[in-house]
Amino acid sequence: MARPRFIVLRAAGTNCENETAWALESGGAAAEILHLGRLLAEPAALTRAQGLVIPGGFSYGDDIAAGRILANRLRTGLGEELTGLVARGGLVLGICNGFQVLVKAGLLPGRYQPRLVQEVSLTWNDCNQYVCRWTRLACQESRCLFLPPAGTLLELPVAHAEGKLILDRPGAEKELDREGLVALRYVAPDGTLPAPRPWNPNGSTADIAGLTDPTGRVLGLMPHPERAMLPWHHPAGRGGCGMEIFRRMAALLA
């Protein structure tokens, strides 16, 4: 059986493309690391792929704001190709900096597609510094097609300085919940909400750690599933949650 083909996007400052490609391959997909410059020069490469992953790192040095420059380049240079990929049944995943890119490009939560309009943002952690630690997440009752069932607990690490999700107005999180666009939340060690600091590592509104779009085919999350693929990735031997996400992505497109 042919493996679904994913592009792992690389740009100046990304630093997780190799392990993300390995995670996709381990989950049953085929992965090609492709530089943004090549993709802009040949947009048809995206039409030949079944999925796109924007990995973590510090694209363009996080100048201006995390993910902003890469988001602008994707929206202006590949906007039609990106929305077309989703429309024909492809998958898009943004991890950490990739989540910041998807939010600022307007793909998440993506309620106005095919217009790419930024609706939310990710900004500085409440502690005003970079945070690197393991977190516990709960999958929500969402539209996402490749996350485990609602209520499943995942342990994934975070590593970011600008991971606090903010909304454009009070109460907007209720709209996102009602529309099934909140995919993941940080939870306390016993799996309950709200998640006090440090379990919500950035102060994200309503403990939101990940969003999906109305199609359920686009997912962005701040934690790193590609860093929790094997049991020994976790200090207590509880790694492996990330593998489930990549397996589900490959299986959905198989």
Tens of pLDDT, residues 101-152: 999 999 999 999 888 999 999 999 999 999 999 999 999 999 999 999 999 9
Q: Which of 63, 74, 73, 55 is nearest to 17 (CA)?
A: 55
pLDDT tens digits, 46-91: 999 999 999 999 999 988 889 999 999 999 999 999 999 999 999 9
> Which pLDDT value is given to residue 113?
84
Average of per-residue pLDDT across 89-98: 98
pLDDT tens digits, 173-202: 999 999 999 999 999 999 999 999 999 999
User: Which homologous superfamily is 5-253 in?
Assistant: Class I glutamine amidotransferase (GATase) domain (3.40.50.880)
pLDDT tens digits, 210-228: 999 999 999 999 999 999 9
Measured CA to CA, the distance from residue 2 to residue 29 in angstroms comes to 9
Measured CA to CA, the distance from residue 38 to residue 10 in angstroms comes to 10
Reply yes or no on whether the pLDDT at 10 is more than 70. Answer: yes
Position 15 confidence tier, pLDDT thresholds 50, 70, 90: very high
Active site residue 96: yes
> Which pLDDT value is given to residue 1?
67
Whole-structure pTM value: 0.97
Reply yes or no on whether the pLDDT at 169 is more than 90. Answer: no
> Which pLDDT value is given to residue 119?
94
Active site residue 16: no
Q: Which of 125, 143, 146, 144 is nearest to 135 (CA)?
A: 125
Active site residue 226: yes
Considering 17, 155, 173, 224, which one is annotated as catalytic? 224
Separation of first and last alpha carbons in the chain: 8
> Which pLDDT value is given to residue 176?
97
Considering 16, 226, 241, 244, which one is annotated as catalytic? 226
> Which pLDDT value is given to residue 63?
85
